[in-house]
Amino acid sequence: MSKSPLRLGIAGLGHVGSEVARIIETQGAHLSRRGGRDIVVTAVSARDKNKQRSCKLAGVAWVNNPVELAAHKDVDVVVELIGGSEGVARDLATAALKASKPFITANKALLAHHGVELASLSEKHNVALYCEAAVAGGIPVIKTLRESLAGNAVKEIYGILNGTCNYILTTMRETGRAFADVLADAQRLGYAEADPTFDIDGMDAAHKLAILSSLAFSSPVDLSALAVSGIRNISLADIHFAEELGFRIKLLGVSRQTEKGLMQRVSPYMVPLTEQLAHVEGALNAVFIEGSAVGPLTLIGRGAGAAATASSVLGDIIDAANGGAPPAFGVSVANMKAIKSLPDSDSIGAFYVRLMVADEPGVLADMAAILRDARISIQSLLQKGRNEAGPVAVVFITHDSNEKAMADALAKLGKMPSVLEAPCVIRIL
């Protein structure tokens, strides 16, 4: 190998950053063969210099301010593993690209909020922006969309993009434990953060879907176009009813081109047990893509964790060593085309609805009248037991209905004196 070594500056030495450095230390010969040159870590930056880590970092320069890695004389490529959409991560990205140094990131929030801005900088300064690790951990979905499926017009893309939520829903179903109990367990095991809001309320998945939508449809990253809801209100009752009706509940990110515009949503969905996605369990992620030439394609794997995420970071490092520099989002910013968003109220689909009602005569007739007036038809209905002292569950599945019509009907159903709790509604994939 006649090329000079590729010198890396790594910002962030948490689980992922330390694992990247450790693999470079222990598997250097393999990485060098794949990259066509030696790959070495020459400078790092993190909050705590004295923290015990899995990597040795012998002879590596320590930089107190991560942004200074962009101007460091011994750094050719900057690797950002700090996280966050603003502050140091954004400043480092901007500085590195302006210095014409390839920038590698696993930061989904940064790209969801500032992806177009950073892609423009990378093109202006003729330098690569790599981001495979930003979505779905070790699953190579970004390269698949950007490179392998470049000859396809993507019709839709959807999937399980948050391992924390998938773990919680899987464990609730398998153990019969309530949401709050399983969430606390996930926090103890490290699947969920101390503040799990971004995961369970859907924003983590929304960041990832915004990036995938841009890649799939050659459009600017637009987080504001997504309708987002999470799993906080999913109950054990809903999980059990789903199984009885032939479904499993999954938090999905869905992006689909329709005649009226691009529908983009993160939401709990009832996934039929006949679908492969229904059987992706635990902390795994899965992404379904339908292309015009390739047809349906499903990618399944570890969507988080130090080793899986480091795998994708190292793939980008090897690309940088080889000099590959495709546009970050598949096409240049100038060739991106804004796509009209489908208003959420115009979406069409089927719904699962659970109502907790007083066990008294006439309730079903009153419900049916409201649904009839909204032109919503019922595909199947379950009513469980009798309980004159308390509420009973009435569960029904609708045929395809307009989202606004469904919302209006639910508002009226919720006001019925016999309906004792707010209706639970879950879309059906």
Q: Is residue 387 predicted with pLDDT exceeding 70? A: no
* 278: pLDDT strictly greater than 80: yes
Specify the pLDDT at position 54: 86
CB 416 within 8 A of CB 366: yes
Average model confidence (pLDDT) across the chain: 93
- The predicted model gives 49-61 an average pLDDT of 88
Answer yes or no: is pLDDT of 326 > 60. Answer: yes
What distance in Å separates the CA atoms of residue 392 and residue 78, rounded to the nearest whole number?
Answer: 59
Q: What is the mean pLDDT of residues 174-194?
A: 89
Domain parsing of the chain, residue ranges: 6-138+310-326, 141-302, 346-428
Distance CA 203, CA 277 (A): 21
Q: What is the DSSP string of 164-211?
A: HHHHHHHHHHHH---HHHHHHHHHHHTSS-SS-HHHHTTHHHHHHHHH
Percent of the chain clearing pLDDT 70 (strictly above): 98
| 3.40.50.720, 3.30.465.10, 3.20.20.140, 3.30.70.260: CATH of 346-428 | 3.30.70.260
Q: How confident is the model at residue 3 (pLDDT cuts 50, 70, 90)?
A: confident
- pLDDT of 346 reads 85
The reported pLDDT for the residue numbered 327 is 93
Q: Which CATH class is domain 141-302?
A: alpha beta
Is residue 272 very low, low, confident or very high in pLDDT (cuts 50, 70, 90)?
Answer: very high
Task: Tell me the pLDDT tens digit for each residue of 289-303.
Answer: 999 999 999 999 998
The predicted model gives 51-80 an average pLDDT of 94
The residue from 73, 208, 260, 415 that is catalytic is 208
Q: Round to whole Å and give the CA distance between 9 and 134.
A: 18
Look at the domain 6-138+310-326 and name its fold: Rossmann fold (3.40.50)
Q: Can you give the pLDDT at residue 2?
A: 53
Q: Judge whether residue 29 has pLDDT over 90.
A: yes
Q: What is the pLDDT of residue 245?
A: 95
Instruction: Give start and end residues of each alpha helix (H) in 48-133.
Output: 88-98, 108-124
pLDDT classification of 389: cutoffs 50, 70, 90: low
Instruction: Please state which of the ranges 105-114, 185-194, 284-293 shows the lowest mean pLDDT.
Output: 185-194
Task: Give pLDDT, residue 373.
Answer: 94
Q: What is the pLDDT of residue 386?
A: 63
Rounded to 10 degrees, the C-alpha dihedral 396/399/402/408 comes to -20
pLDDT band at 120 (very low <50, low <70, confident <90, very high): very high
Q: Is residue 351 predicted with pLDDT exceeding 80?
A: yes
% of the chain with per-residue pLDDT over 90:
84
* Predicted pLDDT of residue 376: 95
Claim: this prediction has a pTM higher than 0.85: yes
Q: Is 208 in the active site? A: yes
Question: Phi and psi for 280 in degrees, rounded to 5?
Answer: -90, 110
CB-side exposure of 310: number of CA atoms within 13 Å?
18
pLDDT at residue number 116: 97
pLDDT-derived band of residue 146, with 50, 70 and 90 as boundaries? very high
